Amino acid sequence: MATLTQKSKMKEAQSIKVSGSEAVILSLMEEGVDTIFGYPGGAIMPVYDSLYHYRDKVNHILVRHEQGAAHAAQGYARVSGKVGVCFATSGPGATNLITGIADAQIDSTPIVCITGQVPAHLLGTDAFQESDVLSISMPVTKWSFQVTTPEEIPYAIARAFYIAKSGRPGPVLVDITKNAQFGQLDFKYEKCEKIRSYHPYPPIDSKKIEEAANLINKAKKPYILAGHGILLSGAQEELKQFAEKTGIPVANTLLGLSAFPTDHPLNVGFLGMHGNYGSNVKTNQCDVLIAVGMRFDDRVTGDSNKYAKQAKVIHIEIDHAEIDKIIQTDVAINADAKQALKELIKSVNSNTHKNWVQEFRDCDKIEFEKVIKKDLYPEGDQIKMGEVVRLVNEIADGEAVLVTDVGQHQMVASRYYKFKYPNTNITSGGLGTMGFALPAAMGAQVGEKNRQVIAVIGDGGFQMTIQELGTIFQYNIPVKIIVLNNNFLGMVRQWQQLFFEKRYSFTEMTNPDFIKIADGYSIKANRISERKDLQGAIKEMYDHNGPYLLEVKVETEENVFPMVPSGDSVANIRLS
């Protein structure tokens, strides 16, 4: 085992003799890793044994399920801007990571997953807890690599970090056989800065910038769609400058929320199936559509054959595979969003589009009267999800990181929470993973200690990863958890009501006593069902020093509107 003194001499000696398992830890330390989420097991036990000697240098969070490790690493990565790291053993440990890996892939979240594997001579023999995790993970990773000799470990980890964080980020898996962990090597670490045939940052085509600027300068009704790529490239300031110079209204995708301040006068709302009325219908009325760091997901476009047919489309996207995949472009800028916007800012004219922006505001008035007023200031006896989010926002003053699970509560929270700062919206977008929020919230709180993390979760998704209350308890992670309990799988029930003649087929839930469960984990908890108690309960939760669970009994059959019916045109968005 290399001592700290030996490690300090590594720069001078260039290499030291260590085991493969210690090389894993030293490699992670060279990449600046300070936190690992994981669950030990037989095939990765040597790595854990080496980690024991570095526990004062690297923080390890013992999750209660490997899926929780992957989601926690995602939450950590999304708020910190670093690469999230998780460990799992072979077989079921590795396969339990797959849901989190797939979620990270489609939402472009950089995580490095390190799994143990049976010894190399047993590969392919169906040995105990052997699974072909490379083949299983390949469709949902940027890169998967199996290490079978100790000498490969620094090489593999250096490349894993470079690939995970460069270009369009994503998950990487490194599978390490047990013999490689036990073997010895002369350890020398060189960070990866280039890989042949891998070009993560395409050069900007100045001609395309000029073409885009010409379209923008001539436009009467231009419209910016801001996606997750803004946050991934750190382009939020460039987006603000670009919008303010041109006077163009900006709408955000689900994952693009927090890329542009909610209260900015040019922010016209949230795109998608349950997004704002104006931001959806005006898509089919603009003359130039500027999509930045987004991939035209079907939840944004609805029927793509009826999407923005009247508009010239400019698409700024770092991943060439996303360009012209769903929506045909007139000007394709295959580049990093930050760099492309910097160049565009130089080329576009200063302008205002007051009448065009006012059209969105007119839509806002319609939506407020028909939807928002009823959600935020309801008159009935039952608590509505929207008023819970409104009070959370008022008490937190937009300072908190919001983590949402998947379902009705996700759409309501995304609509009504006021995002002031970048990377304060953490949710599962493309994969729509129920169970995401609780582990992601604890990972986000570990990654962002200076900001309160609030998880808003439905009663269905909460029970999918409820065991992570044990992790929160063990490490006293001060995340605040709001369970909006309607005793239904709410989003599925809404569809059953609207499109399946109220045949509520297996969507009603008989839930346990969440307060007793929280008490079993020594987590302070409270349940409310009356409006008069709501504000005080949220304030108590927010001010509490430590983790807190607040269960709110909300309207049982509440529906979320506006809504674009699946496969319909965004122009046909329903307000009721």
Residue 178 annotated in active site:
yes
Contact 521, 453 (CB under 8 A): no
Intrachain domains 2-187 and 377-553 with the same fold: yes
DSSP code for 55: T
Cα 374 to the chain's mean position, in Å? 29
How much of the chain is helix, strand and coil, in % rounded to 5?
45, 20, 40
Sign of the CA dihedral running 246, 251, 257, 263:
positive
Residue 491 annotated in active site:
yes
> Residue 15: pLDDT band by 50, 70, 90 thresholds?
confident
Q: What percent of the chain has pLDDT over 70?
A: 98
Q: In the predicted model, is pLDDT for residue 373 greater than 50?
A: yes
Residue 424 in tokens: 């304060």
- Which has the closest alpha carbon to 84: 50, 48, 33? 33
At 404-437, the pLDDT tens digits run 999 999 999 999 999 999 999 999 999 999 999 9
> What is residue 448's predicted lDDT score, i.e. its pLDDT?
96
Residue 373 annotated in active site:
no
Distance CA 353, CA 222 (A): 8
Q: In the predicted model, is pLDDT for residue 179 greater than 70?
A: yes
Q: Of 6, 29, 45, 129, which residue is the catalytic one?
A: 129
- Which has the closest alpha carbon to 445: 408, 492, 403? 403
At 45-79, the pLDDT tens digits run 999 999 999 999 999 999 999 999 999 999 999 99
At 33-48, the pLDDT tens digits run 999 999 999 999 999 9
Residue 399 annotated in active site:
no
62: left (phi over 0), alpha (psi -120 to 50) or beta: beta
**In the predicted model, what is the mean pLDDT of residues 332-356?**
98
> What is residue 9's predicted lDDT score, i.e. its pLDDT?
45
Q: Of 9, 14, 128, 373, which residue is the catalytic one?
A: 128
> What is residue 6's predicted lDDT score, i.e. its pLDDT?
47
Q: From start to end of 40-160, where are the E strands?
A: 59-62, 84-88, 111-117, 143-147
> What is residue 12's predicted lDDT score, i.e. its pLDDT?
45
Q: Of 491, 494, 496, 514, which residue is the catalytic one?
A: 491
Q: Of 30, 66, 343, 448, which residue is the catalytic one?
A: 66
**In the predicted model, what is the mean pLDDT of residues 139-164?**
98
> What is residue 10's predicted lDDT score, i.e. its pLDDT?
45
At 519-558, the pLDDT tens digits run 999 999 999 999 999 999 999 999 999 999 999 999 999 9
**Considering only the top CATH level, what class is 377-553?**
alpha beta
Query: Max Cα separation, the chain?
Result: 74
Task: Tell me the C-alpha to C-alpha distance, in Å, between residue 559 and each of 89, 359, 494, 556, 575.
Answer: 42, 27, 6, 9, 11
How many other C-beta atoms are found inside a 10 Å radius of the C-beta of residue 113? 32
**Whole-structure pTM value:** 0.95
How many other C-beta atoms are found inside a 10 Å radius of the C-beta of residue 202? 17
Residue positions counted in the chain: 576
What H or E segment, with its residue span, contains residue 411?
Answer: helix 408-416
Q: In the predicted model, is pLDDT for residue 1 greater than 80?
A: no
**In the predicted model, what is the mean pLDDT of residues 215-228?**
98
> What is residue 532's predicted lDDT score, i.e. its pLDDT?
96
> What is residue 267's predicted lDDT score, i.e. its pLDDT?
98
> Residue 227: pLDDT band by 50, 70, 90 thresholds?
very high
At 453-462, the pLDDT tens digits run 999 999 999 9
> Residue 182: pLDDT band by 50, 70, 90 thresholds?
very high
- Cis status of the peptide bond prior to 562, with omega within 30 of 0: yes
At 277-300, the pLDDT tens digits run 999 999 999 999 999 999 999 999
Q: In the predicted model, is pLDDT for residue 7 greater than 70?
A: no
> Residue 566: pLDDT band by 50, 70, 90 thresholds?
confident
Phi and psi at residue 444, to the nearest 5°:
-65, -40
Q: In the predicted model, is pLDDT for residue 5 greater than 90?
A: no
Q: In the predicted model, is pLDDT for residue 467 greater than 80?
A: yes
Residue 129 annotated in active site:
yes
Residue 12 in tokens: 């001078």
Q: Of 82, 178, 282, 374, which residue is the catalytic one?
A: 178
| Terminal-residue alpha carbon distance, the chain | 66
**Considering only the top CATH level, what class is 2-187?**
alpha beta
- Which has the closest alpha carbon to 523: 485, 487, 480? 480
Mean pLDDT of the chain: 96
Q: What CATH number was assigned to the domain covering residues 206-360?
A: 3.40.50.1220
Distance CA 87, CA 100 (A): 12
* Domain layout of the chain by residue ranges: 2-187, 206-360, 377-553
